[in-house]
Structure 1
């Protein structure tokens, strides 16, 4: 009887979510290679939560080797989405964070697995999917947004972390997101470092010769600054004191409208899968 009750509770716990898989909108958009158009939006927003930014400051190689940190972080998160429940990729991601803890400047403690901290990191990825699809692919309907959010609840549950902070539906998620931006996030030094190249220029990547970078930087830096600054919410842009103007805003909106246009989408949808999707999405769809 107890076992049946537990099974019933387990089943009802997933009744409020939608599955991930080849028919899901999260799969359709999260691994799309056009995602680069939003810049580092989720990473910057994550680090604007003081506790999360402090954890990166204290424990990550983000400052000494940013590319290595990104290369290490992305695959397990991608496979949490494009893998299966039996792969346990989500619990591996969770376990990477068990020892990420320490003291805040005010003497309080932080831990990466604190539910509020962990859910914020996840929320930035969910919002990444919503923002990217609506801005650079197609205008999402309210039903699309609700569907993406309900699929993201299945995604979050794969981490095996407390669901306490997780909003029930998309409307509640919108309220949560607005409250975080308006009242909680700050210009943490980690986030400021992450967008420093907007005004200072991008440092020469390892493996690129000084001569090659001297030729690439004058093109790369303005584009990177445009995508990074334009891709952030206005509130985050203001907190980080990133330069922007009405003229740049108009240019960004025109740039986004170009990518959303029917001719561009028509061409994109006819490209080979290996060009349209990253390797993790390809594995998922192939399976």
Structure 2
């Protein structure tokens, strides 16, 4: 069984040394493309049900949460930041200039550095261990949301997505020193990282709406919002919270129990049951904008690709 070397991880992340790979960008096609599972599933609109899982798990690691707190506009422009980040990462996968977009994502992080509160040790966003953790949450998102809301993945398909995730990571141009080399190592790494979760200010702020309810838009009167927001808040608390790992629910003080888990699993099973219906939707409806444009550019109909587990 694969194990996670916590000592090596701690030593690496505390170096806080940026390790970009500044070699000339490879020419030719992306290592990803329309025949890969990452292309097939990452841009599917059902994947957006995992938005809080990917955003929250990132920020539960102290160094990354502090980097967001120190350098991000997440506290003043939460939705704007989310849109900008989503576009850049999606375009790294789906654009016809993946290395350019990947290096743009990397270079945005060149000056993100500082110290963490618990012991004053340094962090740097381009430290390989820290940068890879951010990427790992997206690999997990593809596997988790597909297996939960689209269709069950075979073990071989999960391995394939992990391997494609390695190719995806290379597009950023950052050292792969912190990257697990096999899917089994990734699973051990993921479980060990969950046990490192702490209640950073970033993740507590980012999940406040799950505890307190959606904030009322200024133009909507309170009585109207009380009625209109009730089903939205119920959905968030029973579906979005259901996607989160138990360790994240714990640090964010999000209530969960067996009854809610059963309700969540029924919802997920219903979504998987409807997969044939979703696959009849137009590409522009089934996929987010950047993915839909990529499928149209490639001249491939994704609804016919990889619809059954192998």
Q: TM-score, normalised by structure 2?
A: 0.82
Q: For 1:282, what is the secondary structure of its paired residue?
A: helix
Say if 2:209 is the partner of 1:209.
no
Report Cα offsets for 1:72-105 as digits up to 9, x if no partner.
1110100001124565100000011111111211
Q: CA RMSD in A?
A: 1.8
In structure 2, how many angstroms separate the alpha carbons of the residues matched to 1:61 and 1:225?
Answer: 25
Match of 1:130 in 2: 143
Question: Following TM superposition, where does structure 1 have runs of at least 4 consecutive aligned residues deviating by more than 6 angstroms?
Answer: none
Cα offset for 1:286?
1.6
Q: 1:35 to 1:255 in 2, by over 3 A?
A: same
In structure 1, how many angstroms separate the alpha carbons of the residues matched to 2:216 and 2:48?
Answer: 19
Pick from 271, 275, 281 the counterpart of residue 291 of structure 2.
281
Match of 1:230 in 2: 242
Say if 2:207 is the partner of 1:195.
yes
Say if 2:72 is the partner of 1:60.
yes
Q: Is the 8 A contact 2:59 2:202 kept in 1?
A: yes
Q: Is the 8 A contact 1:31 1:281 kept in 2?
A: yes
Q: 1:45 to 1:86 in 2, by over 3 A?
A: closer
Say if 2:164 is the partner of 1:151.
yes
Q: Is the 8 A contact 2:58 2:64 kept in 1?
A: yes
Q: For 1:88, what is the secondary structure of its paired residue?
A: helix
Report how many aligned residue pairs link the two structures. Answer: 267
Q: 1:86 to 1:40 in 2, by over 3 A?
A: closer
Pick from 269, 282, 285 the counterpart of residue 272 of structure 1.
282
Q: Is the 8 A contact 2:102 2:171 kept in 1?
A: yes
Match of 1:4 in 2: none
Match of 2:58 in 1: 46
Q: Is the 8 A contact 2:197 2:247 kept in 1?
A: no
- Please show how residues 1-287 of structure 1 align to structure 2 within 5 Å: 19-84=31-96, 87-105=99-117, 106-182=119-195, 184-205=196-217, 209-210=220-221, 213-261=225-273, 264-287=274-297
In structure 2, how many angstroms separate the alpha carbons of the residues matched to 1:85 and 1:72?
Answer: 17
In structure 2, how many angstroms separate the alpha carbons of the residues matched to 1:86 and 1:244?
Answer: 40
In structure 2, runs of 5+ residues without a counterpart are 1-22, 24-29, 298-310
Q: Is the 8 A contact 1:39 1:231 kept in 2?
A: no
Q: For 1:203, what is the secondary structure of its paired residue?
A: coil
Hey, which of these two has a bigger chunk of helix by percent? 1
Match of 2:17 in 1: none
